Structure 1
Amino acid sequence: MPDSPKPALVCLAQPAWDGDYVKSTVRLMEALAAHYRVLYVDYAHTLADAARAALGRGGAPLERMFGREDRLRRINGPHGPIHVLTPPPVLPTRWMDEGPAFRAALAVNARIVGHVVRAAMRELSMTDPVVVTAFAPQLGLPLVGQLSERARVYYGYDEIAAAPWVGKHGARLEAEYLANADAVVVTSEGLRESRGAQHANVHLVPNGVDFDLFYPAATWQPEGDRPCVGFIGSLDGRVDYALLGALVERRADLDFLFVGRATAPEAEALAAHANVTLAGPHPPDALPGFLGQMDVGIIPFQVTRFTRSIYPMKLNEYLAAGRPVVTTPFAPLGDAEAHVYTASDVPVFSQALDLALRDRGLAARRRRVAFARQNTWAARARAFAAVVEQAPAAPRRRAA
């Protein structure tokens, strides 16, 4: 039975719902539950993922994938209930070249996923949904017109052409999906510029912050004997390791704390420094405790085509905790640029850290907190919903 008379929204998602780090799509859909009845179609694991999981080499949810547990879960989120649907395994396609076989495989995957999505919609009495394709054009494109959708919205939060996990087909499939989308929502100025050349109805809704989670850290003072510079997030290919390595050597008077997954080989080299701690990944609820140990938050990203598309969630998390922020000039950050120190090389970054360490007074903390308070996920969801409701009705067509 329906939970409420709210309109329906189906999210075809690239990110998996579960995990040990904060995901913008998950947080946005949680907040959109205040406005819509949300069906979150979880990441579609492949048969290859299933085989690895069966051998103990992966975390694919085999019981739900194969229907031995209920595929459809009700999650009681902070803004209302959300239903999360685990699809059956699909065909792996990233290795394939463009051509009839690849397109046939996409069609097969769409039939597999579309069947269980329509069944879930019937079970939940969902009709005429808004369909949000979240960085998953390989699924959204072949499902165009197959879910009786009233509007199609593409949600882009990274530069898909530079994202290795999307594979060699991502940019082409995204462009094809955009031709069938009624509106496009992106999270960064860089993406608004690039997607604005592809679509006439592009809107900027930056990543938000779980303000109530991070704000308590604004009243906590680090207890260490030395100032602590911190980074929350994955140590992956976005990070400028040359800058970081030189910085930790130059600033032996500072401690550096990194909280998150270390997926790049260069990350482990940082741990060789006596003033560096790699704390590993932790669930979102644990992050404010780590922020409480930090005097300054940093975003040391490389300046690349990929990073230009990023509006990092950690930015408003740092600010909600009242922490000063030092960042490289990896992307335009809009109004947030008034609240950060920007540095493009090691000497300037080191100087910026000193400025930030002197900028920890009560008035400065209050300014940062006030800015972050405007950028909650609830505020982002209202902006997203306004885009959706202004979008023209989707023609009941299938993608060519």
Structure 2
Amino acid sequence: MTGDLKQSWAGTVIICAAHHWEGVRLHDRQLAENLASHVPVLYVDPPFSVLTRWRRPELRQALSGPRFRVLGPNLARLTPLVLPAMQRPGMSRITQFLKARLVRNAVLRLGGTVRALVETSTFAPIMGRCGEELQVYWAQDDFVGSADLLGLSAERIRRGEQDLLSRAHLVIAANPDVARAVSRPGRRTVLVPYGCDFEHFASAREMVPPLELVSLPRPVIGFMGHLGDRIEMPLLEAVADTGQSLLLIGPRHPRFARAAMDPLMARPNVHWVGRQDFEDLPKYLSVVDVGLVPYVDSAFNRGSFPLKTLEYLAAGIPVVATDLPAIRWLNCPDIRVAKGGKAYAEAVLEVLARSDADGIQRRQRFAAAHSWKVRAEAFAEALGVHLGQTQGAQKARRV
């Protein structure tokens, strides 16, 4: 175990994360870091096997150090190492057994008790196996709707989710449509949407843009995220047709819409900068005048909560989006909704033409009210945690 803090870990919340700690600071990690201001948190990575370091080179760092470490006050992390072929139906029970044993051992090493265990995935769940008082299913997306996109079995995901829903004492949903879909009589369901790292993205207003963008003609319309099947390509094409600079920030799926994407990338007013480190994203957003959320109407997108929407707003950038339940829920005057290429491009031009002296500050105030700090407070309340509880941090002392 790394770290030099000794504290009370009574009432620990275990987050069985859907994403690894390394890399982009996604919603699991953002919640854990902010929730640790109120209660001790043990962040459990998705299971690794000895083959992971070869199949996922970007995750090798997770296996280079201790599997269990204290990251700071109220925050510990466990990287479970299990057997290969972990997702095969016959192996999933072994994975569950090994993962649960490792989590229980981690709690013993911390000397703590478990207030709640938060499951985020239908794969190898360990709900009910770690002595937790409260069993929680964090319904992050429409997982069944995402099966085809991810190349997984929709039926297997459906069975797994129904099992979690039958055992959970509490369901916390990240999307209004998902919240309605998973609600059951006699069991509490709470809507806590994703938030944004407000301070990080608000820094875009003071950032110096990368050299490659200094000469980019203004105004700039920007998209930040994965260029893949969730995107409605005709919308990007229509925006590029306006002649304005179109900046694309993020990795491109090699098989996504190549017949349309290659010509789009070749246009003189389209600039693709590829994958960028999370820490550098505000620099790229510093040149953007309108942010795009051009998502296709799909089950997965309807059940998701596009983080980039709030990240644009935190950077002071107005947004043009397609009509999604999460967008409607936000009900923000600085998010313009449009459908179809012509209407979408016209909406972008209208937003660009709008003169609004207080716009930046208004958008940032809105985003600040939807920060991960605010979301963690709502999550803690749902778990029955008294806000302001910093038991572990207050009792922390040097060994």
Residues 152-204 of structure 1: per-residue CA shift (max 9 Å, x gap): 11112211102233821222101111111011111111211211258731111
| 1:87 and 2:92 correspond | no
Equivalent position to 2:252, from 235, 240, 262: 262
What stretches of structure 2 of length at least 5 have no aligned partner? 386-399
Q: Is the alpha carbon distance of 1:218 and 1:89 closer, same or farther for their aligned partners in structure 2, counting shifts above 3 Å? A: same
Match in the other structure for 1:7: 11
Which one-letter code corresponds to 1:344 in the other structure? K
Which one-letter code corresponds to 1:251 in the other structure? T
CA distance in 2, matches of 1:155, 1:198: 18
CA distance in 2, matches of 1:342, 1:71: 45
Q: Is the alpha carbon distance of 1:363 and 1:62 closer, same or farther for their aligned partners in structure 2, counting shifts above 3 Å? A: closer
113-122 vs 329-338, which deviates more?
Answer: 329-338
TM-score by length of 1: 0.85
Match in the other structure for 2:145: 162
Match in the other structure for 1:397: none
Match in the other structure for 1:196: 183
**For the Cα contact (< 8 Å) 1:218–1:365, is it kept in 2?**
no
CA distance in 2, matches of 1:45, 1:198: 37
- Following TM superposition, by how much is the alpha carbon of 1:73 offset from its aligned partner in structure 2, in angstroms? 2.5
Equivalent position to 2:164, from 166, 177, 202: 177
1:25-174 matches, cutoff 5 A: 25-46=28-49, 49-50=51-52, 53-54=53-54, 57-59=55-57, 61=59, 65=63, 69-76=65-72, 80-92=73-85, 94=87, 96=88, 102=89, 104-134=90-120, 136-140=121-125, 143-164=126-147, 165=150, 167-168=152-153, 169-174=156-161
| 1:307 and 2:301 correspond | yes
Q: Is the alpha carbon distance of 1:319 and 1:311 closer, same or farther for their aligned partners in structure 2, counting shifts above 3 Å? A: same
Match in the other structure for 2:21: 17
- Following TM superposition, by how much is the alpha carbon of 1:337 offset from its aligned partner in structure 2, in angstroms? 3.8
CA distance in 1, matches of 2:186, 2:257: 38
**For the Cα contact (< 8 Å) 1:189–1:204, is it kept in 2?**
yes
How many percent of aligned residue pairs carry the same amino acid? 26
Which one-letter code corresponds to 1:144 in the other structure? M
Q: Is the alpha carbon distance of 1:199 and 1:41 closer, same or farther for their aligned partners in structure 2, counting shifts above 3 Å? A: farther
- Following TM superposition, by how much is the alpha carbon of 1:221 offset from its aligned partner in structure 2, in angstroms? 9.6
Count of paired positions:
367
What stretches of structure 1 of length at least 5 have no aligned partner? 97-101, 391-400
**For the Cα contact (< 8 Å) 1:72–1:86, is it kept in 2?**
yes
Which one-letter code corresponds to 1:154 in the other structure? Y
Match in the other structure for 2:378: 383
| 1:321 and 2:321 correspond | no
Residues 213-270 of structure 1: per-residue CA shift (max 9 Å, x gap): 111324679864321101111112111113222432x212x11111112125226523
Equivalent position to 2:359, from 356, 359, 364: 364
Which one-letter code corresponds to 1:352 in the other structure? A
Q: Is the alpha carbon distance of 1:187 and 1:166 closer, same or farther for their aligned partners in structure 2, counting shifts above 3 Å? A: farther
Equivalent position to 2:269, from 267, 275, 280: 275
Helix, strand or coil at the partner of 2:222: strand
**For the Cα contact (< 8 Å) 1:178–1:198, is it kept in 2?**
no
**For the Cα contact (< 8 Å) 1:2–1:125, is it kept in 2?**
no
CA distance in 2, matches of 1:303, 1:46: 36
Match in the other structure for 1:395: none
Q: Is the alpha carbon distance of 1:124 and 1:266 closer, same or farther for their aligned partners in structure 2, counting shifts above 3 Å? A: same
CA distance in 1, matches of 2:31, 2:127: 22
Match in the other structure for 2:233: 241
Helix, strand or coil at the partner of 2:124: helix
Which one-letter code corresponds to 1:13 in the other structure? A
| 1:351 and 2:371 correspond | no
- Following TM superposition, by how much is the alpha carbon of 1:350 offset from its aligned partner in structure 2, in angstroms? 1.2
Helix, strand or coil at the partner of 1:178: helix
**For the Cα contact (< 8 Å) 1:302–1:330, is it kept in 2?**
no
- Following TM superposition, by how much is the alpha carbon of 1:18 offset from its aligned partner in structure 2, in angstroms? 0.7
* Higher normalized contact order (CA 8 Å, seq sep 6+, divided by chain length): 2
TM-score by length of 2: 0.85
Q: Is the alpha carbon distance of 1:246 and 1:198 closer, same or farther for their aligned partners in structure 2, counting shifts above 3 Å? A: farther
CA distance in 2, matches of 1:213, 1:285: 8
Residues 280-331 of structure 1: per-residue CA shift (max 9 Å, x gap): 1222221111110101101000011110011111111111111110011133
Across the aligned residues of Structure 1 and Structure 2, the Cα RMSD in angstroms comes to 2.4
**For the Cα contact (< 8 Å) 2:238–2:344, is it kept in 1?**
no
